[in-house]
Structure 1
Amino acid sequence: MNGMMDTAENVMKHLSVGNQRQQDAYRVFQDSGLLAKLAAYSSYPTGTVPIDIDLPDSDLDVLCYADDLKTFQAEQSGQLEGIALNGRTQWTYGISVSDQKAYVTCELKLGSWPVEIFVQAVPVEQQNAYLHMQVEWSLLQLWGEAGHREIRRLKQAGWKTEPAFAHVLGLEGNPYIEMRDLAELKEQELWEFARSRVTF
């Protein structure tokens, strides 16, 4: 399925008419009101589910932007506990690799889905996970079902998503930085680059 994934609204439209797991993810987001509750923080659903390379144990990922991570946790803990299965949430602070700022994650369960909310003092459109998904989605549209099959094959063999794409493209170095750097290319430039390097 084609279409832009640049906004949360577009991702949700995509999920709403996607495969069974994507439609289930859409219902979970809608029924829980998670994205609406986090709308003030530019909430954006990302990860492998929207681009249909998820595995059975994949989680739902949501990116958010907040100037102050501690304040975000203080303001959102109660709301998130209120919608989480059994009221359980797990918060983790860390320093991101790949030259990005500190972050906090909140893990919870909504229905049968594990969910991870990732928050940085970086606008969502500049966060690595957002940039990675834009590149990956563009590449999958170029490659079609053959590309989906190859990425799923690698992931089923234990590869993480960005290393799997970097392997297919024959990229060397840190796959997370390499994939982020590809986001600077215009779509046509990306496709021309990918056509010359694809390995499946």
Structure 2
Amino acid sequence: MAVDLNMIAKENDIKYFLISFVDLFGVLRAKLVPASAISGMQKGGAGFAGFAAWLDMTPAHPDMFAIPDPSSLIQLPWKRDVGWLAGDLWMEGKPVGASPRIALKRQIEKATNKGLQMKTGVECEYFLVNVDGTAIADQHDTRDKPCYDQSALMRQYDIVSEICDHMLALGWGPYQNDHEDANGQFEMNWEFDDCLKTADRHTFFKFMVKSVAENHGLRAT
């Protein structure tokens, strides 16, 4: 049975959806769609000018459309009235070859045809820096070998724990967090899964980390 995003919005008090895609530089692009318009977007997709993102296109190319994948839906833990959706890019009735998600799905199809299932896990790392990006957020994080520094980790407890709490609530199975090799650098791990699900979660994780850091008056790389 097809998933009805309009019904999901009503059941979960979602007012807006972010229909997103990743370009070739890993930048997350999106349109903010009111729930009242999601039925049409689920069928026809949200329109984008491909040349305006890094997708090896020119203004001569027609618009492309991001068809949201309902199975990727994540309700923002810090803004529950917004739902995030990964989109598959289509242009003139064909999938866009330059779309990283489309490229991954093609590899999954090849593996499936050989009787294989692709699963992946990631070790996500990021830096916490000040608002203007000129220095790391913690001026006391100065050790020559800062990896696993407990004090430096706990000075950023509010941010790290909030991100981990969100992953716990989303059911990702996070299992460890630590300070990494460089000053101001942190790593967070969660359980491996189907490679498309992991890729979507990794994409959302980067957005989530940046959002939480900004809510605390910092920036994350």
TM-score (norm 1): 0.29
Structure number, greater radius of gyration: 2
Higher strand share: 2
